[in-house]
Amino acid sequence: MTQPAKPTQNIHEYLAEFEDIPGTRVYTAARARKGYHINQFAMSLMKDENRQRFKADEKAYLDEWPISDEAKAALLARDYNTLLDLGGNVYFLSKLFSTDGLSFAEAVSTMTDMTFPEYRDMMLKGGRSPEGNRSIKANRAATGAADKQGNY
């Protein structure tokens, strides 16, 4: 069996590239470690009994978990972008969407700069284009080039 020579994947380069994607938090091991209890808290909402206790007193329920005050505040505010920064993952956080009775699309729209109707409309029209959304570095280079053209 012949196979193309396998390039050795450098883990540091592999992980560094993930930070170059605009508006995206790739769920790396570092985030998974940081957000472990946030995600396990969210998983606990799979049980109806826990959902009821959470709804009755959100703060008291959160105080049972070893979660930072910052993360507790973000959970109470349903500030999903901050939760992503703190290591939350959307598949786990979706247990909070369902506890709130929110559709996936509506909850997802709160992480964008659009209202839900605007977001839904964008999806119906073909979604967000990858153009200009692939690379932070490439965007910066393009803006720099445009600035130069404009200024000089």
Partner 1 sequence: MARITAGVGSSHVPLLGVAVDQGKDRDDYFGPIFAGYDWTREWEKETKPDVIVLVYNDHASAFDMKIVPTFAIGCGERYKSADEGWGPRPVPDVEGHPDLAWHIAQSLILDEFDMTIINEMDVDHGLTVPLSMMFGKPDKWPVKVVPLAVNVVTYPVPSGNRCWALGEAIKRAVESFPEDLNVQIWGTGGMSHQLQGPRAGLLNREWDNKFLDMLEADNDEVRWIPHIEYLRETGSEGIEMVMWLIMRGALGKKVRRLHRHYHIPCSNTAIGHIVLEPEE
- Three-state secondary structure call for residue 124: helix
- Residue 44 or 72 with smaller CB distance to partner 1: 44
Residue 31 CB neighbours (<10 A): 19
136 in contact with partner 1 (CB under 8 A): no
Among 53, 98, 116, 139, binds partner 1 (CB under 8 A): 98
35 neighbors 89 (Cβ within 8 angstroms): yes
How many residues contact partner 1, by CB under 8 A? 56
Q: How many Å is the Cα radius of gyration of the chain?
A: 20
CA separation for the pair 102, 94 (Å, rounded): 9
Tokens of 57: 């007193």
144 in contact with partner 1 (CB under 8 A): no
In degrees, rounded to 5, the angle at the alpha carbon of residue 105 between the alpha carbons of residues 101 and 108 is 95
- Identify which range of 7-15, 60-68, 70-78, 141-149 contacts partner 1 by CB under 8 A: 7-15
Q: How many CA atoms lie within 13 A of 55 on its CB side?
A: 14
DSSP per residue, 9-44? PPHHHHHHHHTTSTT-----HHHHHHTHHHHHHHHH
Tokens of 127: 């979604």
140 in contact with partner 1 (CB under 8 A): no
The least CB distance from residue 100 to partner 1, in Å, is 10
- Residue 72 or 82 with smaller CB distance to partner 1: 82
Map residues 34-53 to x or -, x wherever contact with partner 1 holds by CB under 8 A: --x--xx-xx-xx-------
Binding site for partner 1 (CB under 8 A): 4, 6, 9, 14-15, 17-18, 21-29, 32, 36, 39-40, 42-43, 45-46, 80-81, 84, 89-92, 94-95, 97-99, 103-105, 108-109, 111-113, 119, 122-124, 126-130, 133-135
